Amino acid sequence: MSLLAAEFAAQLHLVRPDLSAAYAEALPGARAAVLGRLWRGLLYEPLPGLTAHGPALVLLADGRRLTGRERRPYDVGGEPVLHLDGEPHTHPATLLAALGLPGAGRLIADLDNSVASLALSRAGAPPHSAKGLEEHEQSVVDGHPYHPGCRNRPGVSVAEQLAYMPEHRPTVLLDLLALPAARCLVSGPWPSALMDGDRLLLPVHPWQTRHVLPGLGLRPYATGAIPARPLMSVRTLVPLDGGPHLKTAFSTRMTSDVRDISPGSVRDCVPLSDLLTRLSARCGGTLGIARYLTGAAGPHDAAGSAGTHSADLSVMLREPVTAQGTVLPVAALTRSMVGDPAAWLDAFARLAVTDAFGLLALGVALEAHGQNLLVALDGDGLPYRLIYRDLADVRISPARLARNGVEPPPVSARLLSDDPAVLHAKLLGSLVGTTFGSLVALFGQGDRTLEDRLWRVLAAAARAASDRLPGTRDVRADRAALFGERIAAKAHLAAGLEHAPPGGSWTTLPNPLTAHNA
């Protein structure tokens, strides 16, 4: 047991001693789960200090050899052990430290934290009994399927994880912070129920109240005012009394990003929602858009002076998702929900390619991974509609919009790009590299013959759907990228290294749709 895992165990003994045995039992599996994600990154990302990769081998610059089981880019299973020059390693943080890669200090700590928190998640999560959207969201215990920091939560104690993290199924009591409305940045019509005279009442996560507001010289106007349940993203919550979902600031790193809400995202949220809703309608309206209704960011200083606004004092209100039948994030799908995986993937891929590439043809590339993409299932359990949410990471092509007679919205410059490589990386890295890949891994369970058959189903469905799109120059380029030899994918390990470039790091992976395109 690492020092951090032992510290978690000591905290757990104080607040939930009944979970102590389950936590100890969960640690080996958590180590293997994170080690598997680390092994994937080492095999497929360009990292300093590594000179060669193979399906089961990494060669270090100093001549040492790291070996393990063969792992394809889309595999999601754990790795119980890897061998560095014959020496076994079972803990990902210890292994990464032994590799000695330049700039890996913080990443080593992140892997240690991810193991300890994942063991806590598995120990404290109740049995899967999803009935509605929130239960499905909260059933995703292991986090991102490919990110080694899948449960990295520095700065969040054991007691706070049990009280706030979705896999523990808590009710979270949101606070209200009173701010001078004239000094706030507001996008869209702010609800009158969240006003007190000339003061705007900003919903605030209780973790933020405890850890961030004191440093800003602020205290809540009301505590525990809005009982709510967290969705898959800990900072997005559903009020028990109904109404819009609340995306709050939670200003600490989780996985690898700080979970605040930039003033730019607040400013963009309503124009982005309007744009995607209009473009979806032009594509036939089959893709649902979970729109942001409004957002607000408070002034940067406690005195409320004019000027900049704070990412720590921000919130966005999103309309609830509604659809007939069962609705769940793709990441929450389980094998037991699906009768025939091939039929399910065929229906899903036809929808996904039609919707996502139809929108791309008009000028917007979605980040269509399993958390942002929700699927509605019919009475036979097959996908009949997709819903997209969390709009802040789309990419917009002003040139494509113009070619389709659409005025670009007034949004942050970081969202804009006419570079086809940027647009294709955003969509294909998430849809093919993450969503399709994790679904094949879920249904195939390591059976390579079955997995190859499922990739052929996906490739045929993607081909059929893309062939029905208009034959414009942009669509021809998009179709070529969809079946190109390689696709871009986020390099999670490289992004976690010190001095990594801002905006994320990328690698390329073999495109399984091309390999299985008959």
Q: What is the pLDDT of residue 307?
A: 61
Q: Return the residue matching tokens 């995986």.
A: 341
pLDDT digits (tens, 9 = 90+) for 56-112: 999 999 999 999 999 999 999 999 999 999 999 999 999 999 999 999 999 999 999
Judge whether 153 lies within some domain: no
Number of structural domains the chain divides into: 3
- Output the CA angle 425-430-433, nearest 5 degrees: 90
Domain match, 470 and 377 both: yes
Domain match, 389 and 499 both: yes
Range 248-255 average pLDDT: 90
Judge whether 334 lies within some domain: yes
Last residue of a domain, one of 94, 122, 138: 138
Q: What is the pLDDT of residue 304?
A: 46
Please give the DSSP secondary-structure letter assigned to residue 331.
Answer: G
Tell me whether residue 299 is exposed, middle or buried, using C-beta atoms within 10 angstroms of its C-beta: 0 to 12, 13 to 18, 19 or more.
buried
Judge whether 405 lies within some domain: yes
Domain match, 198 and 50 both: no
- Coil, strand, or helix at residue 25? helix
Q: What is the pLDDT of residue 302?
A: 54
Greater confidence (38 vs 54) lies with 38
pLDDT digits (tens, 9 = 90+) for 316-333: 999 999 888 899 999 999
Can you read off the two tokens belonging to residue 198? 């000339």
Domain match, 24 and 70 both: yes
Percent of the chain scored above 90 by pLDDT? 88
Judge whether 346 lies within some domain: yes
Judge whether 453 lies within some domain: yes
The alpha carbon of residue 327 and the mean position of all alpha carbons in its chain are separated, in whole angstroms, by 18
Residue type, 436: F
pLDDT above 70: residue 40 = yes
Tell me how long the chain is: 518
In whole angstroms, give the CA distance from residue 111 to residue 109. 5
Q: What is the pLDDT of residue 131?
A: 75
Q: Return the residue matching tokens 């895992």.
A: 5
Domain match, 213 and 331 both: no
pLDDT digits (tens, 9 = 90+) for 424-470: 999 999 999 999 999 999 999 999 999 999 999 999 999 999 999 99
Burial letters 366-393, b for 16+ CB under 10 A, else e: bbbbbbbbbbbbeeeebbbbbbbbbbbb
- Which of 118-132, 390-404, 483-497 has the lowest average pLDDT? 118-132
Beta strand pairing status for 236-239 and 245-248?
A: antiparallel
In whole angstroms, give the CA distance from residue 245 to residue 243. 7
pLDDT above 80: residue 503 = no
Most distant CA pair in the chain: distance in Å?
69
Domain match, 132 and 202 both: no
Range 371-399 average pLDDT: 95
**For the domain that residue 457 is a member of, what is the CATH number?**
1.10.510.40
Range 488-512 average pLDDT: 90
pLDDT above 90: residue 52 = no
Domain match, 416 and 502 both: yes
In whole angstroms, give the CA distance from residue 489 to residue 76. 15
Tell me whether residue 412 is exposed, middle or buried, using C-beta atoms within 10 angstroms of its C-beta: 0 to 12, 13 to 18, 19 or more.
middle
Domain match, 183 and 312 both: yes
Range 15-44 average pLDDT: 97
Kindly report the backbone phi and psi dihedral angles of residue 420, in degrees, each rounded to the nearest multiple of 5, phi listed first. Answer: -55, -35
pLDDT above 70: residue 306 = no
Mean pLDDT of the chain: 94
Can you read off the two tokens belonging to residue 235? 């900072």
Please give the DSSP secondary-structure letter assigned to residue 115.
Answer: H
In whole angstroms, give the CA distance from residue 105 to residue 499. 11
The closest alpha carbon to 279, from 186, 391, 373, belongs to 391
Q: Return the residue matching tokens 């080593």.
A: 108
Judge whether 166 lies within some domain: no
Last residue of a domain, one of 114, 138, 162: 138
Domain match, 305 and 353 both: no
In this structure, the dihedral spanned by the alpha carbons of residues 113, 114, 119 and 124, taken in order and rounded to 10 degrees, is 90
Judge whether 283 lies within some domain: no
Domain match, 297 and 194 both: yes
Q: Which domain holds residue 492?
A: 326-515
Q: In what order do the strands lie in the sheet with 245-248?
A: 185-187, 292-299, 309-318, 245-248, 236-239, 222-230, 172-180, 199-204, 195-196
In whole angstroms, give the CA distance from residue 350 to residue 206. 42
Query: How far apart, in Å, are the Cα atoms of 294 and each of 22, 185, 244?
Result: 42, 11, 10
Q: What is the pLDDT of residue 368?
A: 95
Q: What is the pLDDT of residue 301?
A: 74
Domain match, 387 and 492 both: yes
pLDDT digits (tens, 9 = 90+) for 330-383: 999 999 999 999 999 999 999 999 999 999 999 999 999 999 999 999 999 999
DSSP string, 190-246: --GGGEETTEEEEEE-HHHHHHTGGGGT---SEEEEEEEEE-SSTTEEEETT-SSEE
In whole angstroms, give the CA distance from residue 85 to residue 67. 8
Domain match, 393 and 308 both: no
Judge whether 143 lies within some domain: no
